[in-house]
Structures are given as structure tokens and as C-alpha cells.
Amino acid sequence: MLRLITLEEHFTAQEIIDENNRFKQAVKPADPELDRFYQSMVLIGESLTDIEKLRLPFMDQNRIDMQVLSYTSPVADTVPAAEAVRICRRANDILAARIREHPERFAGFATLPFADPQAAADELERCVKEYHFCGALVAGQFQEHFYDEAVFLPIFARAAQLDVPIHFHPALIHHRIQEYYFRSENWSSVLTGQLSGAGLGWHIDVGIHIVRMILSGIFDKLPNLKLISGHWGELMPSFLERMDSIMTRKVTGLRKDLSEYYKEHIYVTPSGILSKMQLEYMVKLMGADHIMYALDYPYIKPEDVYEFLADADLTPAEKELIAHGNAERLLHLNG
């Protein structure tokens, strides 16, 4: 019987929601219909907060042994730096307390105050050393800045030093990009939100983010750094060969081809997209040793969580790696 560890499983706490809301200006949304859609998508009630009544029964029903919990959306990304440090620290304390209630079932990714990169690096170290968190999850960009900028290097340097990964997760894309690429008079605001978000837009956005990290040369600077990319790599793996042929080493100035960095430093998960074809493709492209399991709970709750891997056309060793072995190794989940 496979041991299942899933690692894109989201959590929030009302206290942290309230903290963030205190700093949001009461601005009337330009598109009320789209704003209501976003609110219904992000705030899905007790599934994010309730562990005993909802989360644990779901895990038991689907034979999930452990979830790695993370905050569902950016924490304190719009507040002053000092407040961001305080809120993120409190958010991590709350998550750690919940994990301590069921330490055999849960682990955690830290949330970090990117407004103060040095404090973010220190908070990552605190969470890893004090709470045994598995790394950190970042959602989208930070105030229109990509993390390949030099100011954020201390965070990734600390992750490499601590030997923990950073999970790159989608978030709502900037409104200018949404307006230019995804809005049309031919469909509703709700469809704009879906197309620019979970339907396509934010996956392209975070996939590009990973490629930017590679092209920045960060893996030459930090050869021990590892990143996690969900949703089967956010559309980027199928373009690795193409990118190699266009962005050659002569152009990038890097020591390796882009695809070499990707296959060495990036770990991918399905994020609940339980597609047999995607699984087979990614095993051939990346190898089973660079794939981990994830569902994106509670936004996605597949009915074949266990069977998808158990019945896959893979060797027993490959199934074990994807189900739990890679997560145990990369996230240090064996104590």
C-alpha cells in the first residue's frame, strides 16, 4: 500500500485574514462582478480552516498519510514592511500550532515577509529550525516584482543554506495583464477571471517566473537551491527543448542549457490535475525522482486520489518516489 504525502494543500486562519483586511483601503472595485467572483474563489469557508471535521476525514477517505500545509494566498503582501514581518511571523506561529496537534499528519511551508528580504530569510530559518517547516511557499509576484531581482537573493541563499525548497505557486495576475490579454467584449467578467486565473493566465505567469529564475543565473550562484512548480510545471516543461534551441548558452551566458537547470533544480507536482498523459510525459521528461504528489486541497478534491498513482503504468519504485519518497527526501520528512 502506497504512503501518500501531498504538498500543495492550503490553510488559512481568520486572525490572519482580519490582519490583512485592516490594511486594505476601502476602494470600490472597478468591476463588482469580477470582485465577487474572486471573493467566492478565495474564501471557500471552513474547508481552509477546519482540520478535525473536514480535512482529516478527507485525508482518511483518500488514504492520504500527510499533507504539507501552506497559506492559500499571499500573506501581508500589501502592508508596510514592519507589519508584514509581524503578520507573517504570527501566521507561521498559528500554522505551527495546528501542525503540533497532529504532527504525524501535517507538515508546513512558511509564509515570508518579502517586503523585508533579510527579515524573510531570517523568518525562513526560524521556521525551519524551530518548527521543522519544510521550506516556504511564495504566491505570485511581490508588488509587481519578480524574485529573480537581486534584492531577494538573501531569501534564496538562506533556503539553499538550509537545504529546503521554495514552492512557487500561482496568484492573481496584475490587472494590466488581465485587461490586455484576457478581457473581451465577447464574454463575461467571470469568464475573464477564470481565463486569467486558474483557467490559464496565472499558470503562464508563474511558469515564466520559474524560467526567469533560471535565466537570472541563480543556480550558478546557489547550486544547492531547489524550487517546486505545481500544475505539472505550469506549462513550461513542454517548451524546454524549444527554449534551449533559441536561448542558447552563447546568449544566456549560463554554464548549462536551460533545460539542464530545470531538470536538476525544479521539482514538479500535479496539483490535483490527475492526468495519466501528463504523468507519463513528465516521468519521461523529468524522471520519477523529480515529481511529487499534490492535490491543491481544498480547491480540488479528486475522487481517485489513491487510485491515480496506485494504478498508474509505472514501476513500483517510481510510484513510491512520487507518492512519498521524493517528498521525504527533499522536505526532510523522515525526522
Residues 104-148 pLDDT 10s: 999 999 999 999 999 999 999 999 999 999 999 999 989 889 999
Q: Which three cell numbers stand for residue 270?
A: 500535479
* 70 DSSP β-pair partners: 10
Calculate helix-pair angle for 14-22, 81-101, nearest 10 degrees: 170
Average pLDDT over residues 162-173: 95
pLDDT band at 14 (very low <50, low <70, confident <90, very high): confident
Identify the residue whose cell numbers are 486520489. 305
C-alpha closest to that of 215 among 245, 256, 177:
256
* Helix spans in the chain (H): 14-22, 32-42, 46-49, 56-61, 81-101, 117-131, 153-162, 175-177, 189-196, 201-215, 218-221, 231-234, 240-246, 249-252, 258-265, 276-286, 305-310, 316-320, 326-330
Q: Is the pLDDT of residue 28 over 50?
A: no
Q: Which three cell numbers stand for residue 54?
A: 473536514
Q: How many CB atoms lie within 10 A of CB 208?
A: 14
CATH number of 5-330: 3.20.20.140
Q: Is the pLDDT of residue 239 over 80?
A: yes
The Cα–Cα gap between 286 and 234 comes to 14
CB 101 within 8 A of CB 63: no
Phi, then psi, of 267 in degrees rounded to 5:
-115, 135
Percent of the chain scoring above 70 in pLDDT: 93
- Looking at residue 72, the DSSP 8-state letter turns out to be S
Residue 168's pLDDT is what? 97
Residue 35's pLDDT is what? 65
Average pLDDT over residues 253-279: 98
Residue 167's pLDDT is what? 98
Q: What is the mean pLDDT of the chain?
A: 93
Residue 144's pLDDT is what? 87
Model pLDDT for residues 73-102, shown as the tens digit of each residue: 888 888 889 999 999 999 999 999 999 999
CB 4 within 8 A of CB 65: yes
Average pLDDT over residues 236-259: 98
C-alpha closest to that of 228 among 9, 54, 3, 16:
9
The Cα–Cα gap between 212 and 266 comes to 13
Q: Among 21-30, 238-247, 248-257, where is mean pLDDT lowest?
A: 21-30
Residue 36's pLDDT is what? 61
The Cα–Cα gap between 287 and 185 comes to 44
Query: In which region does residue 182 sit, left (phi positive, over 0), alpha (psi from -120 to 50) or beta (all else)?
Result: alpha
DSSP three-state, residue 11 = strand
Q: Is the pLDDT of residue 55 over 90?
A: yes
Q: Is the pLDDT of residue 280 over 70?
A: yes
Whether the CA torsion 161, 230, 283, 291 is positive or negative: it is: positive
Per domain, the residue ranges of the chain are: 5-330
Q: What is the pTM of this model?
A: 0.94
Residue 27's pLDDT is what? 38
CB 258 within 8 A of CB 217: no
65/47: higher pLDDT:
65
